[in-house]
Amino acid sequence: MPNPTPENATMLQGFEWYVPDDHKHWQRLAGAVAGLKAVGVDNIWIPPGCKAQSPSGNGYDIYDLYDLGEYDQKGSRSTKWGSKEELFQLLEEAKKSGVGIYWDAVLNHKAGADHTERCKAVEVDPNDRTKVITDPYEITGWLGFDFPGRGDKDSCMKYHWHHFTGTDYNDENKKEAIYKIVGDNKDWSKSVDLEKGNYDYLMFADLDYSHGEVEQDVMNWGVWITKTAGLKGIRFDAIKHFSEDFLKRFLKNIDESVGLRLFCVGEFWKDSLSDMTGYLERMDHQFSLFDAPLVYNFSQMSKESNTDLSKVFNDTLVQVKPVNAVTLIMNHDTQPYQALEASIEDWFKPLAYALILFRESGYPCLFYGDLYGIKGEHSFPPSCQGKLPDLSLARKLYAYGEQNDYFDPGTCIGWVRRGTEDRPDGLACVLSSAGINEKRMDVGTEHSGQKWTDVLGWESSEVLIGDDGFGTFPVGGTSVAVWVNEKAQGRERFGKFNANIYET
């Protein structure tokens, strides 16, 4: 007997930027986990669960790594997402459903200091951080972290000015600038991205990983959070901005201390394929990156009529490093009204999801805002006309086996997944960036005589597979169709997802 075909894996970014600030997000996710598993979600990247500098902070304004919504600090006991107890209820529900949890680790900086401290600093050119533009002088920076609500529980480390490389505010004269802290062996990290000369400094109080106390405290936290939360993976925020050398040691320490190789993906958000592949090489390819160039391709193509879909993977990470690419459509930074907004027109989103869910390459990541809708001042309903759960389920059930492409002409492309011995159903996917069209494709003589229908229900016709294994598969204008044998295993599971997460 051949080895069983591995199941396709899919991850979900389990939040969007404008999730309501009601401290109930952990509760909502806990109630949704079983339904997510049922449509093919295997792992959830949850938002930063550590205490932020304010009760409404999303966690990227991180204050205390060791406070998971347990201590009365920075205005509340809970984080924006909920209390530690509610977090652990989510973790328990995920474990029961067989869903892994990926933690969002914000290790670049700290925010919301408890008191100011005096130190020497120089101002640097914001556009070239290697250029010093003032003599050293004393500033009063928000650089003292005592964690009074937590005390010494889990970590006795307190942070002071010498634990940081830079800050952005001098409380003495209320001036905002990029201040590089001056002291023995103080400098920007050398193993960071070279944008702006040296991109070590991003925001708030920038951690200095050349300081042994900082490295040890954060190393300890990595092991602690992995064990405490039973993690299957970590998403690392802002990896362009802190030491690659430290990150390699951090991961090695978890491997050796926990005896577990976590899935690790980093936010290296840059439209430069060479910089991304260079980073992966320096990380010995034991790491994944989000495919930012693919997101930009999707965004651009969605704004063009009759766009050439055959070029969608040109100059993308998934094209050159398929094993290390996490493919996605949108995230909390690129969603509408965010700093890195890369809008994707509504008509194109189902096509984009088909392109990441049904192909052999890449590890696809669904976006919470596309699944459940986006809240806030500028709200949006779930995308893909509510069909994203069915797209995800079709991946789990049918997107297996050899992939045969039909990419000509570029305005109507298709491909076939031929299935495997133990997952024999396969699928045929057709996309159009122009008008109504059809694609004649070979799904295999083993399917001769079968009637195939569109799992999305957007195409109402049936396709009869001929004796030669070919079928002619229609698709609507600027649309996608996903064709599967009408008697394929699991067809009864479609259309059952509850997207009303805010009403439960």
The residues annotated with a catalytic role in the active site are 237, 267
Report how far residue 347's alpha carbon sits from residue 349's, in angstroms, rounded to the nearest whole number: 6
Cβ count near 302 (within 10 Å)? 21
Contact between 493 and 38 under an 8 Å Cβ cutoff? The reply is: yes
Extended strands (E) in 189-296? 205-207, 233-236, 263-266, 288-290
Nearest to 454 by CA among 486, 490, 497: 486
Helix (H, G, I), strand (E, B) or coil at 202: coil
Nearest to 307 by CA among 410, 406, 384: 410
Phi–psi pair at 498, nearest 5 degrees: -100, 105
Contact between 484 and 491 under an 8 Å Cβ cutoff? The reply is: yes
Helix (H, G, I), strand (E, B) or coil at 254: helix
Contact between 451 and 405 under an 8 Å Cβ cutoff? The reply is: no
Nearest to 356 by CA among 273, 271, 431: 431
Place of tokens 């079983």: 34
